[in-house]
Amino acid sequence: MNRTRKTIWFVLSICFVCMIFAMPVSAKGKSAAKKNVPKKIVLNRTEFLLYPGEERKLSVERVKPEKASAKVVWKSKRKAVAAISPKGELKARKPGKTTITAISKKNPKVKAVVKVIVKKRPEKKEKECVFKTKRHAYNSSDEWLDVYANINHLEPVIFRNKEDILEYVRCARILDVKNNKGYDTYDEVIKMNKREWYKETSRTFLGEYLNMDFKKESLLVLFGRCNQVISLKTKFDVNGKLQGIIGFQTIGERNRGIGLGVTAIDTVALKISKQDEAMIDYYQFYYQFQEVEEEPEK
């Protein structure tokens, strides 16, 4: 009997010891599992203004907690207006309003919504467009904005609202940090919130356009243009597409018959009406030379 009791107590002691060692491991497992469950997801956009046929990219910008899964399922409320692919590729189809919802795969209760407005393009016609222009002198601290436009062949860069500006600055800065590994680290930049991106944008020339009247105007930015804009007119090409033809004036020497000017490293910004920007399919550029007489040799 005593031997049996001893055996029972021995077995119970072993079980008790095992439970003590197992409890922290189990707690750690639960803690790690909680860290992988998203409580909030933030997307790269909250709204879009598009025209039929245009495409944009949606992505998860941040997730809380930081180590949580960023995987989401994309859904469109009205696919006929705008469709979204599993990779976040958004395509505008027809005029109307819809919402795109990103649903966390790990926690379906966590969602983020993007408002999408698809507008009908106005009737296309040839005309002289009214515009306001400003030239921004070269600033080495803004050069990364120029680099991003060149890499992505964006000429001009078109901004239809302040979110377009913030998104451009964010993408350009992330690319700059990846390529140059400057004073910012990649991890620090991708963790920046909307308020911090406002501050970052305000340090650049684009900051002065954050509060422009986007209900009436769109902003066109041409990087690397020292020349003065003298005209903007629309004209149909042989395929029926409407060109926006931007005319520049450059200075040359009459005797040489060429345009010299300064190295094109400045930036030109144009404000044009929403209607005019919406009907233009693509842009072309031409240069009008202003001749100056060469000084005679003494």
Cβ-count burial 176-203 (b if 16+ within 10 Å, e if not): bbeeeeeeeeeeebeebeeeebbebbee
Q: Is the peptide bond before 65 cis (omega within 30 degrees of 0)?
A: yes
The arithmetic mean of pLDDT across residues 252-270, rounded, is: 58
Residue 239 to residues 23, 55, 66, 101, Cα–Cα distance (Å): 73, 22, 50, 38
Please write the tens of the pLDDT for every residue from 272-296: 999 999 999 999 998 877 655 555 5
H/E element, 24: helix 2-35
Pairwise CA distance, residues 147 & 229, whole Å: 22
Q: Domain residues of the chain, as ranges? A: 40-118, 131-292
Q: Which pLDDT belongs to residue 83?
A: 98
The arithmetic mean of pLDDT across residues 15-33, rounded, is: 56
Q: Which pLDDT belongs to residue 32?
A: 53
pLDDT confidence of 28, banded at 50, 70, 90? very low
Cα angle, residue 276 at apex, residues 241 and 243 outer, rounded to 5° = 25
Highest mean pLDDT: which range of 73-87, 175-189, 238-252 = 73-87
Residue 27 has pLDDT above 90, yes or no: no
Q: Does domain 40-118 have CATH number 2.60.40.1080?
A: yes
Q: Which pLDDT belongs to residue 114?
A: 97
Please write the tens of the pLDDT for every residue from 196-209: 999 999 999 999 99
Residue 270 has pLDDT above 80, yes or no: yes
Residue 182 has pLDDT above 60, yes or no: no
Please write the tens of the pLDDT for every residue from 47-93: 999 999 999 999 999 999 988 999 999 999 999 999 999 999 999 99
Query: Pick from 107, 87, 100, 98: which is nearest to 41 by CA?
Result: 107
**Contacts of residue 172, Cβ cutoff 8 Å, sequence gap at least 6:** 144, 145, 147, 148
**For the chain, the helix, strand and coil percentages under 3-state DSSP, each to the nearest 5:** 30, 35, 35
Q: Residue 284 has which token pair?
A: 């072309």
pTM for this structure? 0.79
